[in-house]
Amino acid sequence: MHMLLVVRKGRARDRFVEELNRLGAQCDVAETQDELVQAARHRRYNGVLFDVPTLVREKQLDKRLLQHLAEIYPSARLKHDPGTDLVYALGSDAGPPSPNGLSVFVAACRDFLPRSLRRGERVDANLPVVLWRTPPGGGDQGQSGEMTCTLNVSYMGCFLFTTASWAIGDEAWVVFPDVLEVPVPMRVAWHEVWGRRRSMPGVGLAFLEMPEALFTELGRLGCIPDEPDEPDEMDIAREGKGL
């Protein structure tokens, strides 16, 4: 399990790394904006941790980027108490404030499918879709599939509204009826359970294939593909090309 840690050099940094290693988590440390972007783009992480004093003092860190990271990864803010040498983790993913917050956070991150930062931003779009747990047969669309819609899309995947139960790693098939009738194979990368917190329930799905018609439609909606000279290990395949 890998964490991305945003913190300056010093005793706090040493203690954060010690505690994460003790809890069985490896971490990469980013101190500057460039280090943060490079790390997030080229390695998959289970979670992101921010040192509070670093966020306050390092004016070069782009607050929009930090917010984006906090939205797509489990995240927490860290504080080091110089008097006791204890580490505190703060945030909804770390539970109530306590010396055990970092342990709670690491445990929560184990259920998150590690991922890297998308170069193409998500685009808000409500495309009608039919979600299937098994490949749909000919002529029975809508009989056992769930009719729903996307909330956002990218060349990596999409987030669909659903209150059904899914597990990370589950296979799924999605039909985009106003784009193409062929079901697109996908995999569950994230599941937001209904009622767990006040956020939209649904599943984040990663494309396993990218038909040409869908690729074109996503581009029309404003999605931006990865740069061809910087391949990402989570690149989404176009039709006829494997992952």
- Is the predicted pLDDT of residue 218 greater than 80, yes or no? yes
pLDDT digits (tens, 9 = 90+) for 176-185: 999 999 999 9
For tokens 């784009």, the residue is 179
Asked if the domains at 2-109 and 123-221 fall in one CATH topology, the answer is no
pLDDT digits (tens, 9 = 90+) for 121-160: 577 889 999 999 999 875 554 458 999 999 999 888 999 9
For tokens 């989404």, the residue is 236
Nearest to 154 by CA among 203, 223, 215: 223
Output the pLDDT for position 225: 64
Is the CATH code 3.40.50 the one for domain 2-109? yes
Q: What is the 3-state secondary structure (H, E, C) of 59-110?
A: CCCCHHHHHHHHHHCCEEEEEEECCCCEEEEECHHHCCCCCCHHHHHHHHHC
> How is residue 191 annotated by DSSP?
E
More confident site: 38 or 73: 73
Output the pLDDT for position 118: 62
Report how far residue 115's alpha carbon sits from residue 229's, in angstroms, rounded to the nearest whole number: 20
Residue 182 CA neighbour count, 13 Å, CB half: 9
Domain 123-221 fold? Thrombin, subunit H (2.40.10)
Look up the pTM and report it. Answer: 0.53
Domain coordinates of the chain in residue numbers? Answer: 2-109, 123-221
